Amino acid sequence: MSCAGHCCAIDEHFDRRIAEGELERYRRNGPSPSTRQLLRVIGETRLADATLLDIGGGIGTIAHELLDAGAPHATVVDASAAFIAAARDESERRRAADRLELVHGDFVTLAPEISVADVVTLDKVVCCYLDMEGLVDSSTSRARRLYGIIYPRDGWWVRFSIAVQNTVRGARGKTFRAYVYANAAIEDRIRRNGFSLRRRDRGFFWVVDLFERTAAAP
CATH of the domain at 176: 3.40.50.150
Asked if the structure places residue 121 within a domain, the reply is yes
Asked if the structure places residue 209 within a domain, the reply is yes
pLDDT at 142 over 60: yes
pLDDT at 210 over 60: yes
Counting other chains too, the contacts that 98-103 makes at CB distance below 8 Å and 24 or more residues apart are 99/67, 99/71, 99/72, 99/73, 99/74, 100/60, 100/63, 100/67, 100/73, 100/74, 100/75, 100/76, 101/73, 101/74, 101/75, 101/76, 102/60, 102/75, 102/76, 102/78, 103/75, 103/76, 103/77, 103/78
Asked if the structure places residue 125 within a domain, the reply is yes
Q: At what angle do helices 61-68 and 81-93 cross, to 10 degrees?
A: 20
Number of domain units in the chain = 1
Question: Quick one: how far is CA 25 from the chain centroid?
Answer: 18
User: How high is the pLDDT of residue 5?
Assistant: 56
Asked if the structure places residue 218 within a domain, the reply is no
Q: Tens of pLDDT along 19-72?
A: 999 999 999 999 999 999 999 999 999 888 899 999 999 999 999 999 999 999
Asked if the structure places residue 15 within a domain, the reply is yes
Q: Tens of pLDDT along 70-121?
A: 999 999 999 999 999 999 999 999 999 999 999 999 999 999 999 999 999 9
Average model confidence (pLDDT) for the chain? 95
Could you tell me the residue range of the domain that residue 111 belongs to? 5-213
User: How high is the pLDDT of residue 1?
Assistant: 41
Asked if the structure places residue 117 within a domain, the reply is yes
As a whole number of angstroms, the distance between CA 136 and CA 18 comes to 26
Asked if the structure places residue 119 within a domain, the reply is yes
The structure's pTM equals 0.94
